[in-house]
Amino acid sequence: MDRAGHLYSQCSYNNKNRRSSSLTVQLDVLSSLQVCLQRHFLIRVHSNKDCLVLSSCEMFATAARNFVEEVDHGGSLIPVSSLNDTINLLTVVVKRKRFWMWQRPKYIPTDFNLNDLLTEGTPITPVGIETDFIKYNGTFGDNIQGSLDANILDGHSLKLEGKDSSKLQSSFGSLKKEEVDVQKLLRDSRGRLLDMSHSLVHQTMEKRRQVFGVVKERISTTQPCSVIEEVQQAGQCGGGLSFCGPKSPKVSLKENGSLSKDSNITMEIPIHTTIAYAQIELEIRQDGHFELCLMSDTKGGFEVDGPAGGAQLLGSEVPLSPSENNHLREELERLRDHFSLLSALPAVTRSSLLQHLLKVMEHKEAVSSLQHVLEQKCKDERPALDETTASESYNQNIQAILDLLEQPESAQANPSTSVLSALHLITSAIDEMSLECHAILGMCCSVTWLPALERLVHCVSGNGELPLSNADAAALTDDIYAKTSYLFASSNISLKRDGDKMKTEIHQQPGHRPLVLCIAIKGLASLAKEA
């Protein structure tokens, strides 16, 4: 990226022959301070470029996810996560149930269709019914700006300003829907057997919490289209001072710096590209007979799994109700031991874990990589960092976290309440957040902000009110309050000041978003607690 910067310094001396050593020291100190702040600010803006500019894979995945959120929120459509996925009718999809109850399942399209897994017999030929779907063009974006003014002493000032904006435009054009004739599929599949010795069947059965499904519907493009991401970043920093006294010369110092960067990335998507799909899960018996799960509340799986084959999950399956804050409180109470373990770690260990975790949080893909690695360790599998999608710099932070978990004070005999499990819990919560919520949380994760955020979590899970006289509530200045309100709103929680109180309210049909946010905040706050 081109980097434009302008830095100048101007000093004028009324009396060049008279320079006191104290004045020279003061000038050197302030000048060094300004340079350090400028360097920190410019580097920070530069490093955040990786957070704002998406890879081509992330651009497509985000565009597909936005599309599904807009046209089928809470429905059966599944966004395609990669352009490399080949999805046709009756493509076999592996649904991987997650570790925690509130995690969305992962869907992994395979290279096989249903016929590839059947024993010998007449291949099933799906009858596809094509219809026009919609014409879709979507634009999603955000603007972030902030400033900092500081007066150190009389006549001494420092100022930092920054502004970031990003926009993702998806022009899918006219889309078509292709769906299988389910009645014919039922007739054709009746009495058929899966080859239980097939490698895909065998490998899927070996891992618990995995289910087979077949694609019954897909949404695809009918013309070449594009996904465009535009990112603009700009920053300025500056400072000034002046000294004037009877025994010292008159001195003025002025420094300013600026940085601006633009990025415009266009990805062309070919015709007949699948954007989203829906599937039917399979209930598979030990002898290979299977049934199609036609109802949304009927879940598939392998009979050999038995009751233990379902996800070994924590908490109830019932979504939160806006009038029942006690559900949220009960779920957080179940996880109290995890938060206590983190806050009981030595201060140095907690600080290091928080530092590396915040670094990983700069990039959503890095968080997903850390979550996957920790989940492998929770299942006593050997994590492979070379298989992650994170960059080398983020892999170094992930490795540092793994090293900290190996320290004696971090290792616990009981894996259900270990530091590893606790860190996996909060990392899973951060990974589960939307891009919007994740970005705002990253802006609020300072050691000074986290206690106030944790107090608001107690408010949300309690009676919904917090006196503004509370020290943590008083710390919510207008700037912090604005960001905090935005953060909670992105998780379906309203936050507002009402007289001498702060009030919170969970929206209707919030899903698991409030719980996910509260887990993330309490986990991070546990690492940030003072010794």
d(CA 412, CA 422): 11
Q: What is the pLDDT of residue 15?
A: 39
The neighbouring-strand residues paired with 229 are 168, 265
Which of 25-39, 175-189, 214-228, 272-286 shows the lowest mean pLDDT across its residues? 25-39
d(CA 185, CA 230): 45
* Tokens read off for 112: 């096989």
Mean pLDDT value across residues 204-232? 86
Residue 42 has pLDDT above 80, yes or no: no
302 or 409: whose pLDDT is higher? 302
Task: For residue 32, tell me if it sits in a domain.
Answer: yes
Please give the tally of structural domains in the chain: 2
Q: What is the pLDDT of residue 346?
A: 92
Task: For residue 318, tell me if it sits in a domain.
Answer: no
* Tokens read off for 38: 């400028």
Residues 232 and 372 in one domain: no
d(CA 251, CA 244): 7
Residue 2 has pLDDT above 60, yes or no: no
* Tokens read off for 182: 């389910």
State if pTM tops 0.75. Answer: no
* pLDDT band for position 16 (cuts 50, 70, 90): very low
37 within 8 A of 158, measured Cβ to Cβ: yes
Residues 343 and 217 in one domain: no
Kindly report, residue by residue over 130-184, the tens digit of the pLDDT: 999 988 887 766 555 555 555 555 555 656 666 666 677 788 889 999 999 999 9
Mean pLDDT value across residues 390-411? 81
362 within 8 A of 45, measured Cβ to Cβ: no
Task: For residue 317, tell me if it sits in a domain.
Answer: no
517 within 8 A of 437, measured Cβ to Cβ: yes
Q: What is the pLDDT of residue 511?
A: 81
Residue 45 has pLDDT above 90, yes or no: no
If we measure between CA atoms, which residue out of 216, 190, 207 comes closest to residue 88? 216
Mean pLDDT value across residues 39-63? 54
Q: What percent of the chain is modeled with pLDDT above 90?
A: 33
Which of 123-132, 287-296, 324-333 shows the lowest mean pLDDT across its residues? 324-333
Residue 345 has pLDDT above 50, yes or no: yes
Task: For residue 480, tell me if it sits in a domain.
Answer: yes
Mean pLDDT value across residues 120-131? 89
Give the phi and the psi of residue 450 in degrees, each rounded to 5: -60, -40
Give the phi and the psi of residue 205 in degrees, each rounded to 5: -65, -30
CA 140 centroid distance within chain: 16
Domain stops at, among 242, 275, 310: 310
Residues 306 and 333 in one domain: no
Mean pLDDT value across residues 349-372? 91
344 within 8 A of 336, measured Cβ to Cβ: no
Residues 299 and 357 in one domain: no
d(CA 463, CA 505): 9
If we measure between CA atoms, which residue out of 200, 197, 149, 140 comes closest to residue 171? 140
DSSP per-residue letters across 468-483: TTSHHHHT--HHHHHH
Mean pLDDT value across residues 466-494? 80
Give the phi and the psi of residue 96 in degrees, each rounded to 5: -105, 110
Task: For residue 378, tell me if it sits in a domain.
Answer: yes
230 or 273: whose pLDDT is higher? 273
Residues 437 and 522 in one domain: yes
Residues 280 and 412 in one domain: no
d(CA 29, CA 324): 56
Residues 421 and 453 in one domain: yes
Q: What is the pLDDT of residue 431?
A: 93
Mean pLDDT value across residues 60-70? 86
Residues 370 and 518 in one domain: yes
Mean pLDDT value across residues 439-444? 86
* pLDDT band for position 43 (cuts 50, 70, 90): very low
d(CA 92, CA 95): 10
* pLDDT band for position 318 (cuts 50, 70, 90): very low
d(CA 395, CA 385): 7
Residues 170 and 253 in one domain: yes
Task: For residue 315, tell me if it sits in a domain.
Answer: no
69 or 208: whose pLDDT is higher? 69
Residues 287 and 218 in one domain: yes
d(CA 76, CA 188): 24
* pLDDT band for position 474 (cuts 50, 70, 90): low
Tokens 């869907």 correspond to 107
Mean pLDDT value across residues 415-426? 83
* pLDDT band for position 312 (cuts 50, 70, 90): very low
The neighbouring-strand residues paired with 157 are 151, 240
Q: What is the pLDDT of residue 239?
A: 57
Residues 231 and 272 in one domain: yes
Residue 1 has pLDDT above 60, yes or no: no
CA angle 279, 61, 170 (to 5 degrees): 110
Tokens 């905040």 correspond to 521
Q: Under DSSP, is residue 342 helix (H, G, I), strand (E, B) or coil?
A: helix
Mean pLDDT value across residues 430-450? 86
Residue 512 has pLDDT above 70, yes or no: yes
Task: For residue 320, tell me if it sits in a domain.
Answer: no
Q: What is the pLDDT of residue 3?
A: 34
Q: What is the pLDDT of residue 337?
A: 92
Q: What is the pLDDT of residue 165?
A: 64
Q: What percent of the chain is modeled with pLDDT above 70?
A: 70
Q: Helix %, strand %, coil % for the chain, to 5?
A: 40, 30, 30
Q: What is the pLDDT of residue 17?
A: 39
232 or 184: whose pLDDT is higher? 184
CA dihedral 299, 204, 272, 57 (to 10 degrees): 110
d(CA 90, CA 112): 9
* pLDDT band for position 321 (cuts 50, 70, 90): very low
DSSP 13: -
Residues 259 and 391 in one domain: no
Task: For residue 490, tell me if it sits in a domain.
Answer: yes
Q: What is the pLDDT of residue 62?
A: 82
Who contacts 264 (Cβ-Cβ below 8 Å, separation ≥6)? 228, 229, 230, 231
141 or 414: whose pLDDT is higher? 141
d(CA 353, CA 342): 10
Q: What is the pLDDT of residue 159?
A: 63
Domain stops at, among 285, 310, 335: 310
d(CA 80, CA 507): 29
d(CA 513, CA 492): 7
CA angle 146, 152, 157 (to 5 degrees): 55
Domain that holds residue 435: 325-528
Q: Write down the mean pLDDT value for the chain.
A: 77
Domain stops at, among 276, 310, 344: 310
